[in-house]
Structure 1
């Protein structure tokens, strides 16, 4: 699950990487096209792809791949690019050492799920069906008790901002053991808690929020997300698979860092903290709509972007990254066995980039911030 939330110091590396090419093309398209193949050659991914969206309007659904034909990428890596249809400008690009990634492919999004769950919770707050100051005990009596943990002292705000002190159940399961939500909570309670009030990323927080959504609405978090987010935005490639191990068609293959094929996976290893299956186009559309104010009233969107509780590290289901040029982007990343994905957007949602790998780790951690800088930092000829 995601741990990279601040831009690393990459002075010489980034300066060389983002230097204008011989063509003097200073566009984000040229910059990201130069960086993306490095996720394969230097980052160790079998394949990588991105879809960037620039401007208002619909960036197009998960239709045809939109490839403009294969070309030869950096260092002999096969690559391709194209433009998606729709009202907003969007660019698809992939690089692969073997089989590529198609624009329409479904994949597991890991902790990007948390942005969906946080949006549902904040919508319920806007409807006065819960308050962020509510103690967990009010909605789930007796759930969080023992080993120094007391649900009477943990608020929903603390869950949303990862300041609850709840241990991360995946420290015990390593993200490989399917669990029900109560089992995940019991597993977490058997681990040493973190210090309440301090930011400590924990998947358990969002598993508990999933239970709160069910208690408040009478429906699962998946059903509420479908009704409130997925259907209204037309995210036709996005779903909460529950216990279904297979991915919807079309999809590619997913691999661990040692090369094992983990395309078939029980999503209950993550639950409400990381169950989501989606597409590049759907994630771009979701973050554009969220940050553009289409899913939350302005007051609640400001709450979502308020990082004070987590001392600047995290809002509610979103976190900021300030790039070397001073631009701050908002979004989330997700890591689950066989998949890594990162969505980032400007604060107004007008520009969004989502990239993904068909493996769960980037060998060189400098590459992610470099790709974000290539897309969002202005460049001059």
Structure 2
């Protein structure tokens, strides 16, 4: 689970669906539409899709909440959906050789790798889970139920051996920023994450070589521990607390924490490993608070727009979330910045779990947000991802 230039015309049709209110003029066709098909041709994904959202207002202060209803325009946010996929004849595996000519709108049976990604499909969002967990921790800090400078052992006594250097250096802030020094426990098997309880995940991490405390090193263990802290502080699981604080208020009805449930809610497509194995049925329990989330394109856009617009965190905590100093500019708390070639910086996260890769990015004020996904865990070329984001967020 991890963290534009002019393009030559390519032989690929892309289905576009622009959704806007009847009173609003249709949105211009985003430049990202021309880049999206490269995730299929160059990236070798069976299918790819994006959903972009643009708010009809601009806040005067970055991070400020949306204007009150009586000061908002009656225009609704503009939504734009696009997808690209391989034709049925090429529905074998993401890593097949050659350069097929994908087609849009093909409708093979449900087992076909070329089945297109629908706008409403549910999918596994991997490490995007971390943004939700970080938001809950920061909400608890705003309520003075914990402090980011708290040592982990204040909330989870006995989880770490007192003689370990990690135990003395571990604070909630170091977990949020991936500067704790804890090794990454996360491993995958043929059918997804190796199922471990949170305590087993921590024990696995402690048996591995630690990284340097105070230096950024991405580790899923950090967020598994934060999930345990949420339960200790609130008396509810991280899944229940996140649903109460985020999913329900924002009406993210397509987002859920499946635990060890192996099925995806309907509707959904198929999911494939980079070798072409169907992993649609998957036990994500081993990913836990670091990556078990299921969501939709629209829900992720709505969540990040609300987060960056200041609807989920007070300004003090939102500034802390976006402060990257502790992680040497690499990471904030559950989000990270990416500076695009035009100088624009977008904020968000990516998620990679067996059968799925997804990336959400948004402007600092949350007015513009884009989520794209592919139905394979084939690693997206970072240069290609950057090109897609630049096509969406850089002025033309």
What TM-score do you get using the length of structure 2 for normalisation?
A: 0.81
1:278 to 295, 304, 327: 295
Distance in 1, Cα, partners of 2:170 & 2:237:
22
Q: Which residue of 2 aligns with 1:137?
A: 153
Q: Which residue of 1 aligns with 2:318?
A: 301
SS in 1 for 2:82: strand
Q: Which residue of 2 aligns with 1:96?
A: 85
SS in 2 for 1:17: coil
Count of matched residue positions in the alignment of Structure 1 and Structure 2: 334
> How far apart are 1:269 and its partner, in Å?
2.2
Distance in 2, Cα, partners of 1:366 & 1:28:
25
Larger deviation: 286-295 or 166-175?
Answer: 166-175
1:219 to 219, 236, 243: 236
Q: Compared with structure 1, are the counterparts of its residues 148 and 45 closer, same or farther at alpha carbon in structure 2 (3 Å cutoff)?
A: same
Does structure 1 residue 330 correspond to structure 2 residue 341?
Answer: no
> How far apart are 1:30 and its partner, in Å?
3.8
Alpha carbons 1:45, 1:362 under 8 Å: kept? no
Does structure 1 residue 349 correspond to structure 2 residue 366?
Answer: yes
Distance in 1, Cα, partners of 2:145 & 2:136:
11
Q: Which residue of 2 aligns with 1:359?
A: 376
Does structure 1 residue 291 correspond to structure 2 residue 308?
Answer: yes
Alpha carbons 1:133, 1:157 under 8 Å: kept? yes
Does structure 1 residue 124 correspond to structure 2 residue 113?
Answer: no
SS in 1 for 2:273: coil
Larger deviation: 144-153 or 368-377?
Answer: 144-153
- The 5 Å alignment of 1:15-164 reads 15-17=5-7, 29-56=29-56, 87-97=76-86, 98-145=114-161, 148-164=164-180
Alpha carbons 2:179, 2:326 under 8 Å: kept? yes
Distance in 1, Cα, partners of 2:189 & 2:280:
19
Q: CA RMSD in A?
A: 1.8
Alpha carbons 1:115, 1:318 under 8 Å: kept? yes
> How far apart are 1:31 and its partner, in Å?
1.2
Deviations 1:187-246 (A, max 9, x none): 101000000000000000000000000000000000000000000000000000111000
Q: Compared with structure 1, are the counterparts of its residues 172 and 88 closer, same or farther at alpha carbon in structure 2 (3 Å cutoff)?
A: closer
Distance in 1, Cα, partners of 2:292 & 2:80:
27
> How far apart are 1:320 and its partner, in Å?
0.1
Does structure 1 residue 247 correspond to structure 2 residue 236?
Answer: no
Alpha carbons 2:188, 2:194 under 8 Å: kept? no
Gaps of 5+ in 2: 10-26, 58-74, 87-113
Alpha carbons 1:39, 1:362 under 8 Å: kept? no
> How far apart are 1:363 and its partner, in Å?
5.3
Q: Which residue of 2 aligns with 1:193?
A: 210
SS in 2 for 1:378: coil
What TM-score do you get using the length of structure 1 for normalisation?
A: 0.84
Q: Which residue of 2 aligns with 1:340?
A: 357
> How far apart are 1:267 and its partner, in Å?
1.1
SS in 2 for 1:281: helix
Q: Which residue of 2 aligns with 1:373?
A: 390
Q: Which residue of 1 aligns with 2:219?
A: 202
Distance in 2, Cα, partners of 1:162 & 1:188:
14
